[in-house]
Amino acid sequence: MYQIDFKHPVSVYFVGIGGISMSGLAEILHRAGFTVSGSDWKSSPITQSLEKKGIRVSYGEDAAHVTEDIDCAVLTSAVHEDNLEFMAIREKGIPYLSRAQLLGQIMKNYELPIAVSGTHGKTTTTSMLAEILLQADTDPTLSIGGILKSIGGNIRVGDSGYFLTEACEYTNSFLSFFPKIGLILNVEEDHLDFFKDLEDIRHSFRRFAQLLPPDGTLVISGDIERWRELTEGLSCRVVTFGHDSGCDYHARQIRHDEQGNASFLLYSPEKEPQRVTLQVPGDHNVHNALAALATSDLLGIDRGAALAALKEFCGTDRRFEYKGTVNGFAIIDDYAHHPTEITATLRAAKNYPHKKLWCMFQPHTYSRTKAFMNEFARALALADRVVLTDIYAAREKDTLGISSRDLQAAVRALGTECEYFPTFEEAEKFLAENCINGDLLITMGAGDVVKIGESLLGK
């Protein structure tokens, strides 16, 4: 495998440079003195930002983009064997790495790499930890899977030994990492276009835990079913967090204010119980905060600084993000695209001021929609009214014979009103005509459904 050497910067080409993680890695190398270029399907705010920083970006899929001066290529997981640029890279004999392999190699250059894994909550927990590290003046390098307002993006390059990143299980990407501290937030069925079943997923998280060195620490949720199977025989230290009072870090007396934001009493080893106040809603964010605080303590960060950071943290883009109010109804956007995430978001919304709760949902990938059809229906039925648009295909093609109409029927069968519109324009028109003063509309999904709310707001 090609090895990136920070002491000898070379020319690196990114295929799919506009992705949230790929762009961050490109920027890290660029700031380290590497000659960085890349390609993506079309211009976006991310690629435009890279170009302003001096990174050359080409658009479209074209073998001509792959020039002789490239020393190494980095490929996003969406690149397949028939990609013209990938074919050119192989024909020219240019060594290449996956995004995960590059990220793993970057981690080796830091004394204290921290990797946050889990089926849900990675971006929020990583962002919470990022705010704590910044509040404590640790000057960390950060790679986040979402836009964090306090750093004006998803990447920050620091000069200390701290490196914080998300660790995604899809295609076993996180098994290429080298963490000193690893977090496992939860383990559930997802990405069934890659994994066989839940046991296959658990096996991968077990292998992730085994990456930790003897002087490292695994921070794991005690709420995970049979979590001890994931930690049995590990040489590293294990710290638990969760709702169970038997966990090292657990919460009691959870409350929600008039905006749905959570607060709780924190119980942890060797410290008196302390009240933690969050500016983000939902019990799932209590869980995320427990993971962040457990990790913060491991790093020796002052508890007061950590609590202050969490009190100021207002979330990342597309995580229960308030977009605005139009015609008297509020619009919030959320990235939830798995039944568990949808359930957590809609339950959090119950504590947010509203008359009627609307969910404008865009299913994400055909395989996920088919695998969790009934679970999606039960989760969406927590809303008062549901509106669906077509499935966002992402990396897939429509070969499973599944559609949003099937999900509409499943939601209606549970007694919840559900409409389906094939175009954003039709959905937007329906919402504009039916959402009234005092209602709450959540645009939800991992695709581009955010555009509907922004269009309603005139953005």
Rounded Cα distance, 224 and 381, in Å: 25
Residue whose entry in the numeric block shows the structure tokens 């008062």? 384
Among residues 262, 205, 211, the alpha carbon closest in space to that of 229 is found at: 205
Q: Which of 166, 189, 419, 428 is catalytic?
A: 166
Active site residue 356: no
Among residues 75, 12, 68, the alpha carbon closest in space to that of 40 is found at: 75
Active site residue 53: no
Active site residue 355: no
Judging by beta carbons within 10 Å of its beta carbon (0-12, 13-18, 19+), is residue 127 exposed, middle or buried?
buried
Q: Tell me the sheet residues that pair with 251.
A: 266
Whether 105 contacts 97, CB under 8 Å: yes
Q: Which of 47, 119, 123, 240 is catalytic?
A: 123
Instruction: Label residue 137 left, alpha or beta by phi (over 0 means left) and psi (-120 to 50 means alpha).
Output: left
Query: Measured between alpha carbons, how far is residue 242 from residues 168, 209, 246, 284, 289 in Å?
Result: 21, 18, 9, 10, 10
Query: Measured between alpha carbons, how far is residue 396 from residues 16, 98, 284 in Å?
Result: 16, 19, 29
Sequence-ordered alpha helix ranges (H) in 299-439: 303-312, 339-350, 366-371, 373-380, 404-413, 424-434
Q: Which of 27, 122, 131, 443 is catalytic?
A: 122
Give how far the C-alpha of residue 298 lies from the chain's centroid of Cα atoms, to the nearest Å.
Answer: 23
Rounded Cα distance, 7 and 294, in Å: 34
Give how far the C-alpha of residue 207 lies from the chain's centroid of Cα atoms, to the nearest Å.
Answer: 21
Rounded Cα distance, 114 and 140, in Å: 11
Rounded Cα distance, 320 and 325, in Å: 14
For the annotated catalytic residues, the residue numbers are 122-123, 166
